[in-house]
Amino acid sequence: MRICVVGAGGVGASIASIAARRPFFDHLVLADVDLARAQRALRPLGDVRLRAARVDAGDRESVVALARDADVDVIVNACDPRFNPTIFAAAHEAGCTYVDMAMSLSSPHPSRPHERTGVKLGDAQFALAEDWALRDQLALVGMGVESGLSDVFARYAADHLFSTIDEIGVRDGSNLRVHGARFAPTFSIWTTIEECLNPPVVYERGRGWFTTEPFSEPEVFDFPEGIGPVECVNVEHEEVLLIPRWIDAGRVTFKYGLGEEFIAVLKTLHLLGLDRKDPVRVRDVEVAPRDVVAACLPNPAELGAQMQGKTCAGTWVKGTGTDGRPREVFLYQVADNEVTMRDYGHQAVVWQTGVNLVVALELLADGAWKGRGVLGPEAFDAVPFLELLDEYGAPWAIREM
């Protein structure tokens, strides 16, 4: 397998460092608009299979040219979702398999944004599924940790633990702290603003997809391995748009443990218009307010040394077990920042996102996962994925609730 990773930020760099320990690929290009950043990410790895390159992720032809020059067969989109259309289109034009962690962006319903969906996450990609299938190409969308591993958990539960499923709830919580910072998100603030301030989507059998107010339906969920109780709220996320396409469930939700202070900051950004992604003119310069916010905050990829704690990604499934009795389980994976920094030099959130994507790449390389069209992780067999996680030092567990 020959791979091009577009984007050398925290997740892109972690993908390269995790993949470098595995033999499944022949060549990996880590590409970024800032060539020096890609070079810095690869320098400590000392792997002749890796090289850095410059690419403009917003320019389809730039991505196509790199893919052809490097003769890659897989393009990984490790950029924020703004660049999804160009990288997705470039992979199709270049005849490559495409993998991303965040699907094409949504837009709210014009008149009833907190009741009805408008353009949903991934709609632009699924609209082209037939084109990909006709060319015998695969686009694997939403393949990180959430979404990604969380969807694999849902597939495993449906195939091996339950005869019928009443509810699937993806839950994300942590006790991560960044020392010396009052407000320092551990993941891209651009993406965090997008998913947290958009109307969250919920799925119900018989009703389909609908939306609610941001931060709705708060609940306290008790996370494992010492994280403990965390209040979680509805947030727009890919799993709710992916899981119902392949798994029959009565209800599907995604809830994120944000915390009161984090929510208050996001609400303030929205109130002031600083969450906007369309440019505004400031004297002689046009700049998107959200980009200014991102530039003013610490780079999440560089916070690892100041971070402490664990983060948990999990899928809570309720229904009837294979024995005909009521069952409720939480399938989860925990990443400890101390461990990921010690073993890989990457903070827990970006490492956990990267490791699950690399596992998927290995399954695509050896043929354990194969398909065509636009597919989510739950379209594939979960067992080989979960078996491979232990080899990567990324174990998972099931808690009976």
Beta-sheet pairing, 310-321 with 326-336 = antiparallel
pLDDT digits (tens, 9 = 90+) for 83-139: 999 999 999 999 999 999 999 999 999 999 999 999 999 999 999 999 999 999 999
Q: Are residues 224 and 344 in the same domain?
A: yes
Residue 383 placed within a domain: no
Q: What is the pLDDT of residue 244?
A: 98
Q: Are residues 56 and 171 in the same domain?
A: no
Q: Are residues 30 and 177 in the same domain?
A: no
Sign of the torsion formed by the C-alpha atoms of 27, 139, 147 and 401: negative
* Confidence band of 398 (pLDDT split at 50, 70, 90): very high
* Confidence band of 281 (pLDDT split at 50, 70, 90): very high
In angstroms, the first-to-last Cα distance of the chain is: 41
Q: Are residues 204 and 310 in the same domain?
A: yes
Instruction: List the domain range (segments joined by +) for residue 51.
Output: 2-100
Helix boundaries (H) for 32-156 = 35-42, 60-70, 84-94, 123-126, 129-134, 149-156
> Has residue 182 got a pLDDT over 80?
no
Residue 390 placed within a domain: no
Residue 107 placed within a domain: no
| pTM of the entire predicted model | 0.96
Q: Are residues 185 and 282 in the same domain?
A: yes
What is the CATH number for 73?
3.40.50.720
Q: Are residues 253 and 159 in the same domain?
A: yes
> Has residue 79 got a pLDDT over 90?
yes
Dihedral pair phi/psi, residue 43, rounded to 5°: -55, -45
> Has residue 301 got a pLDDT over 90?
no
How many domains, the chain?
2
> Has residue 302 got a pLDDT over 90?
no
Q: Are residues 188 and 328 in the same domain?
A: yes
Q: Are residues 215 and 326 in the same domain?
A: yes
Average pLDDT for the chain: 96
Q: Are residues 167 and 280 in the same domain?
A: yes
> Has residue 243 got a pLDDT over 80?
yes
Residue 93 placed within a domain: yes
Q: What is the pLDDT of residue 184?
A: 84
Long-range (24+ apart) CB contacts under 8 A made by 60-69 are 60/86, 60/89, 60/90, 60/93, 61/90, 63/6, 63/87, 63/90, 63/91, 63/94, 64/90, 64/93, 64/94, 66/4, 66/29, 66/31, 67/4, 67/91, 67/94, 67/96, 68/94
Q: Are residues 92 and 187 in the same domain?
A: no
Give the DSSP letter string of 224-285: TTTTEEEEEEE---HHHHHHHHHS--SEEEEEE---HHHHHHHHHHHHHTTT--S-EEETTE
* Confidence band of 145 (pLDDT split at 50, 70, 90): very high
Q: What is the pLDDT of residue 147?
A: 96
Q: What is the pLDDT of residue 330?
A: 98
Percent of the chain scoring above 90 in pLDDT:
92
Q: Are residues 36 and 170 in the same domain?
A: no
Q: Give the bridge partners for 41, in sequence order.
A: none
Q: What is the pLDDT of residue 238?
A: 98
Q: Are residues 197 and 55 in the same domain?
A: no
> Has residue 246 got a pLDDT over 80?
yes
Give the end of a domain, one of 59, 77, 100: 100
What is the CATH number for 292?
3.30.360.10
Long-range (24+ apart) CB contacts under 8 A made by 26-30 are 26/1, 26/2, 27/2, 27/3, 27/51, 27/70, 27/72, 28/2, 28/3, 28/4, 29/3, 29/4, 29/5, 29/53, 29/66, 29/70, 29/72, 30/5
Q: What is the pLDDT of residue 180?
A: 84
pLDDT digits (tens, 9 = 90+) for 323-368: 999 999 999 999 999 999 999 999 999 999 999 999 999 999 999 9
Residue 306 placed within a domain: yes
- CA 380/CA 366 separation, integer angstroms: 14
> Has residue 187 got a pLDDT over 90?
no
Give the end of a domain, one of 60, 76, 100: 100
